[in-house]
Amino acid sequence: MHRFFISKDNIKKGNIIITGDDVSHISRVLRIKPGDDIVVCDGQGMDYKVVIENIDKYAVRTRILESRASDGEPGINAVLFQGIPKSTKMDVIIQKCTEIGVRRIVPVETARTVVRLSSEKDGIKKVERWQRIAEEAAKQSGRGIIPKIDMPRSFYESLAEAAELDISLIPYELEKNNNLKMSIHGKKAESIGIFIGPEGGYEDFEIKSALDKGVVPVTLGPRILRTETSGSAVLSCIMYEFDEMQY
């Protein structure tokens, strides 16, 4: 069943109104008609099965048939602090991590980040695009929320944010002893941060700064993962360990 996100403000007295780009997508692309059922999500973890009553140029008007908590939301609040990569790799990272269950993605500028944003306007433009990618991935994967894509920030600002989370990890190719399983197995946590470096990884002084803030370096084994692979690999392991990959 087709799935759409709306603002909670669009829910009134047993009815939901869909506006914006989804109107054209529903009527012209999907060719959904009055009388058809769809699923609408308020972006805060509630799903609504609705029947379409009317479609015009500006809005799709629906009536709520039933409501329930979204099945697609993990209990663990996972935050990805992703070193900004080159090209369109960030698109893939956002898409796949959204599918797996990330709650928030923070683009991070590190010492080895090649891509530097030229202005605040450039940053806003990129984040708006990344947010659209997250929304499409959330629709496709049955999520109950759309992961928030933050404005890019420095590595040190990200470390300060990570200090507020229950657990924070930073995969590091020179770490040989502390593996990912050791760091999360049997842990009680409601929130977890994952630091992934850009192409080229982290400088030694960045790892030291992370250690000083309580972020734990971990090894992912003998294979070197690309930046666009690492986040989804670590996130998958976390979801499995916290029993978020079963009904």
pLDDT, tens digit (0-9, with 9 covering 90-100), for 90-101 = 999 999 999 999
Q: Report the predicted TM-score, pTM, of the whole model to 2 decimal places.
A: 0.92
Percent of the chain with pLDDT over 90: 93
Q: Residue 120: is its pLDDT beyond 90?
A: no
For 63-83, what is each residue's pLDDT tens digit? 999 999 998 899 999 999 999
Question: In this structure, are residues 30 and 3 in contact, taking their beta carbons and an 8 Å threshold?
Answer: no
177's tokens: 């002893």
Mention every residue, 6+ apart, whose C-beta is less than 8 A from residue 216. 167, 168, 169, 170, 178, 183
Question: In this structure, are residues 146 and 135 in contact, taking their beta carbons and an 8 Å threshold?
Answer: yes
Per-residue pLDDT band at 168 (split at 50, 70, 90) = very high
For 2-44, what is each residue's pLDDT tens digit? 999 999 999 999 999 999 999 999 999 999 999 999 999 999 9
